Amino acid sequence: MAQSSSMKLLGARNMSCIVERMEWNNKMDLIAYGTEKGEVIIQRLNWQKIVTFPTPGEDVRVRSLSWQMDETLLAVGYSNGKVALLDAESETIISGLIYDDDIKKVYFSKAINCKESLDSYTCNAKDKHRRYLPKLPPLTNIDPCLKTLDQKSFPKGSPCFLVVIMRSGKVHLLLLGALQAGSIDLTQHVLNPDQFDVYDVRLNGDFNAIYALLRDGQQLKLLHFHNQVLQDSISPMLELASHCAHILETKNYINDTQQCLTEAWETVQLEMDNKLTKYANSQAYGMISAHFLELLVFGYATLEVEEFLTLTEKGFKKIANSVDLSLNNLQGLVFKQLNGAAINMFYFLNTIAGFGRMTHFFEALISPDVASEAMRACGSYLLKVHELQRTIDTLVYDMKLFHSWIIFTILRLSHQEIPDDMVFTGKENVALAEFFCAMEPDIPEPGEGDDGIEEKPATASGIAGEDSSGDASPSPTLTPRSKFNLERVGQYLENSYLTQLQTVNPDELWPRLLAENECLAQCNLFVPHDKKLSLIQQRDKMFNAIDAVFHKPTESISASFKLSTAVICSDLQQYPNESAADPEQQSNYDFVNCSYHVHEATKCDMLALTISLQEAMVLEFSRGDDYLLRCTRVHLHPGPITPQLQEDYYNLRFVDLQFYNESSISMLAQTSTPVTGVRPHSYFVQFSLSASRNHCTQHQLAPLMKLPEATVTHSVHDIPDAATFKGLDGVCEMLAVSGSRKVATVLSDRRRKMTIYEMEIEEEEDDTEMSQASFLEISKESVLATCSNETDKADT
């Protein structure tokens, strides 16, 4: 047994608060850690802070951290059920998910590299839409700080799975952070769901199976689930997930655009509110149209109208310019952003519908009928966008005409000179008269029709308008109408039926053709146009149809999980009654810690876990044709042939462990003594898997395997050159290592002190015993020596 480990102290810092989780990036010198306040901080090796992400809520704790392979993307799981994807490079929240349960762990799988064969699907359409679809213009009116988690783009980079493990035992798989790629409820596969706890769930290296480490009653089990759909359809799933990400980004863009539309419309109403609405509110319903028509036709103004026209010509021009600017902004949002997003959405859905016709590859993932229905819903939304565009264009023309007529009337009543270009034509006078008549449309009496009636949603009984008590539906309520009839546009931005339907142009041939031929209106080949739905309702209908498209892959993959092997690792103690219902106390009661690594060279999935305070186990699952399981069991106690050791080595216990690389495991150990008041000593243990290879046992995978009866436990001190120990300062409680970066971080002093070590250094550089103060003194002495030498040279 080697007595020292090659590691060098790089520095230590006392943290401002308790650190609960930490994780190294495998490619860059970035370490992320979560604090007791729910914050996530990313810093460099030299302690330079890159970004601090605030907590998503009060009393929210960070449950898990995971870096995407070779990327700056960090997945964070919170205790309130939120999963956030954070980008350290752009210092932004990329996207997020919300679940209704506490998070146990989140992690990114390794990158997916699909092997091509003659009978496999080749994914060669990556971002092909960029050839045909113009890039959507940015929405400059939205403050990035006001965006919610689900309103931002999805991550780009190496394709991989995001796995979300809930404390309840449910596991969710997401491909590219976008496509729901199945889920499994582990409680359905255990014998004692009332004494259940999940410790870890991992995807295997071929992405066709998962390993679930859990507690089942008084047994620690590792369950192996195979999934045939994942095995057969991983390449088509990547294609579908890529389009799913584009669709979700487009959905977020549509939501952002409609938010801009609402803000722009509120600006129009605000501009009208100061003077025009004040006058309108002082008049009885119907009098505004009468007064303006009287002024237009006879040139006579009442006292109320004269008071309304007391503004100067410049004042009305200022209001007119503000309203025109806001309406032009509305026009641009609908014509460019909303129309372009709807076209992009139709393109992606059309592509998915085409995939559905390739049944050999996509039969388990896409239902062609559901995809076609989503296309029709998208087409209906596009028609509603065009309908809103025509309504806004009409309002813009009417408002410009109205403002010009107001200024013309002010000049005429004040006996000022009227420019020649302000004289209205007969067609414009007719348009003004129609606009004044439509300012205050007739209010239908109750029971005359559906216009202006607000419908109540259907209750659980399925009957619209019936309340929960079973009484008859109440009398319909009238939707209030604003003066100047601005709700012609505003009604499209509300989640209710339209109160003023757009008039049908008798010169248009297609509406007449549909009215005369009912079979055409009901044909699935044509896109339906529901004139009563608002833009918000049509958007929600489209989103629901799109969500239905992605239900099938989730259902197919979830149903394909089949339990193939159950491995009993060890026996556990029974939970005390008072802590059986508390998941946090359950995790603290059993010391089960695990780490996972995929060894690509040997096609082996490796799992290291502690099964007690003094015993650990390394499981190696072969993914080859031999279906072998190799097991290495070690404990920290001296064995029967162990030579004399230091006193501390006789009572060590595990604190933490992680895979350093495919050939070694880093462990954190601590002395346990029954004497109160004695501070325990901490040790860093580097365990070599290659040195312990001859001490493992091999087993053929079977439906049920009981490892305690078929394996032998060895002392780490009895395996030659297997374990190297290094004493550490303080009481250490957590470990984070990175073999690719050759660094190790240890938390001590109640997780308030972070110490960073450099690994794999030469033996003569081993200075672990030096303190940070001694490093500072050496640096000062070297600087003084350099200055002294330069002074001597100058004197000579």
Separation of alpha carbons 688 and 692, rounded Å: 7
| Whole-number percent of the chain with pLDDT over 90 | 42
Separation of alpha carbons 424 and 432, rounded Å: 10
Kindly indicate the confidence band of residue 519, based on its pLDDT and cuts at 50, 70 and 90.
Answer: confident
The tokens for 42 are: 């990313």
Classify the C-alpha dihedral 217-222-227-230 as positive or negative: positive
Tell me the DSSP string of 616-633. EEEEEEE-STT-EEEEEE
* pLDDT tens figures, 434-472: 888 877 665 555 444 444 434 433 333 332 333 333 343
Separation of alpha carbons 537 and 457, rounded Å: 13
Kindly indicate the confidence band of residue 707, based on its pLDDT and cuts at 50, 70 and 90.
Answer: very high
Q: Which pLDDT score, from 0 to 100, does residue 783 have? A: 41
* pLDDT tens figures, 184-200: 999 999 999 998 999 99
**DSSP label of 441:** P
Q: Which pLDDT score, from 0 to 100, does residue 476 have? A: 37
Predicted TM-score (pTM) of the model is 0.80
Supply the mean pLDDT for the chain. Answer: 81
* pLDDT tens figures, 261-308: 888 888 777 766 555 666 667 777 777 778 888 888 887 777 777 777
Q: Which pLDDT score, from 0 to 100, does residue 183 have? A: 94
The tokens for 466 are: 């019936």
Q: Which pLDDT score, from 0 to 100, does residue 714 have? A: 92
Name the more confident of 300 and 82. 82
Q: Which pLDDT score, from 0 to 100, does residue 517 have? A: 81
Query: Mean pLDDT, to the nearest integer, of 316-321?
Result: 72
The tokens for 695 are: 């001490």
* pLDDT tens figures, 330-382: 788 888 889 999 999 999 999 999 999 998 889 999 999 999 999 999 999 99
Q: Which pLDDT score, from 0 to 100, does residue 733 have? A: 92
Least confident of 283-292, 621-630, 681-690: 283-292
Query: Mean pLDDT, to the nearest integer, of 301-330?
Result: 72
1: pLDDT strictly greater than 60:
no
Least confident of 169-173, 180-184, 416-420: 416-420
Query: Mean pLDDT, to the nearest integer, of 667-691?
Result: 87
Please calculate the CA angle 217-189-167 and round it to the nearest 5 degrees.
70
Q: Which pLDDT score, from 0 to 100, does residue 268 have? A: 75
148: pLDDT strictly greater than 60:
no
Name the more confident of 525 and 76. 76
Q: Which pLDDT score, from 0 to 100, does residue 178 have? A: 82
Where exactly does CATH 2.40.10.480 map onto the chain?
A: 19-108
Name the more confident of 707 and 488. 707
Separation of alpha carbons 26 and 33, rounded Å: 15
Query: Would you say domain 19-108 falls under CATH 2.40.10.480?
Result: yes
Q: With beta carbons less than 8 A apart as the criterion, state whether 110 and 160 touch.
A: yes
